Amino acid sequence: MAPGELDKVIGKLDCSNENLIVGIEGSEDATVFRIDESRAIVQTVDLITPVVDDPYLYGQIAAANSLSDVFAMGADVATAMNIMGFDGCNHPKEVLGEILAGGQSKIAECGGVIAGGHTIETPEMLYGLSVTGFIHPERIYRNNTPREGDLLILTKPLGMGILTTAIKADKLEKSQIPKVAAILAQLNQKASEAMREFAVHACTDITGFGLAGHAYEMSGGKHTLQFNYDEIPILPEAIPLAKACIIPGGSYANQAYLEPMTDFGAKGRDEMLFYDAQTSGGLLMAVAPEDAERLKQRLIDEGYTYTAIIGEVLPLQEKTLIVR
């Protein structure tokens, strides 16, 4: 489902409450509910189908993907509940245990606790988490509050949607899978903690709507985001696969919706990587220009080796997204 289509569906819900600081408006990464003057609850839920064959790795990746929304808000994880759709007809119960163990390893890595969950029988495997975190009500990172002149930092490379599609289709060399899996399973926790020390004005994580879709949300209808294509980190293994049209359906949906709002002037570059639907992608941050280089280096030092400054926030123009 493309960003605009989702807005039409959830926009009909009445979620108003004086303590609901962040609800469904603005397509934020998670909800935030005020407890008192110094505490608020951050909640999110997400699940995915398998992206690798190894059940433990799949559990790690799915958990990292679910936990990411809390980190994008600048919050700390407290508890998580497993959500599992298990195909018991074709998989032994040991596979279920391995998936859950992988998920728990990532929850424990960020200091969270498994507090339960729910499992049902499904014809296709599904796994993810419902996550609860905590944050100060006045220290929330929204996804649509960049400032003119901010520089844009991305912490993980693009191409994951294409690469996971290739894995499912047995089109990716087995020797390349561990590299892809390691990036997918990397938590955004340390990136979230690092950004809190700098003048970051907006943050979101790059998932199903791709860089283009989440950047469009970040614009908030008030700014244009301009990208330097050559600076965007892209896994090189994804480039020939994109040319071979090994592309997830969600990426095509993103392109169809966002092309009218995009000026893609990067001639000779593969546009689909800009629209590619990601799983467990990196954080996209809008940071004050005087802090950008220091934050970039800090993120690299924290293990986000693909981190790059990929663009800037401009006054609103005819097109919301510009790629040069």
Cβ atoms within 10 Å of 318's Cβ, excluding its own: 8
Q: What is the pLDDT of residues 113-124, one digit of tens each?
A: 999 999 999 999
Domains for the chain: give ranges and CATH numbers: 14-135 (3.30.1330.10), 151-323 (3.90.650.10)
Helices (H), ranges, 220-288: 238-243, 249-258, 272-275
pLDDT in tens, 156-189: 999 999 999 999 999 999 999 999 999 999 999 9
- Please state the length of the chain: 324
Whether 241 and 162 have beta carbons less than 8 Å apart is answered as yes
End-to-end CA distance of the chain: 27
Convert the pLDDT of each residue in 218-256 to its tens digit.
Answer: 999 999 999 999 999 999 999 999 999 999 999 999 999
Paired with 311 in beta bridges are 152, 227
pLDDT beyond 80 at 61: yes
Rg (CA), the chain: 19
CA–CA gap between residue 184 and residue 227 (Å, rounded)? 23
SS3 content of the chain, % helix, strand, coil (to 5): 40, 25, 35
Phi-psi region of 303 (alpha: psi -120 to 50; beta: other; left: phi over 0): left
What six digits make up the tokens of 206?
């790059």
pLDDT tens-place string over residues 18-58? 888 888 776 777 899 999 999 999 999 999 999 999 999 99
pLDDT tens sequence across 296-320: 999 999 999 999 999 999 999 999 9
**Is the per-residue pLDDT at 268 higher than 90?**
no
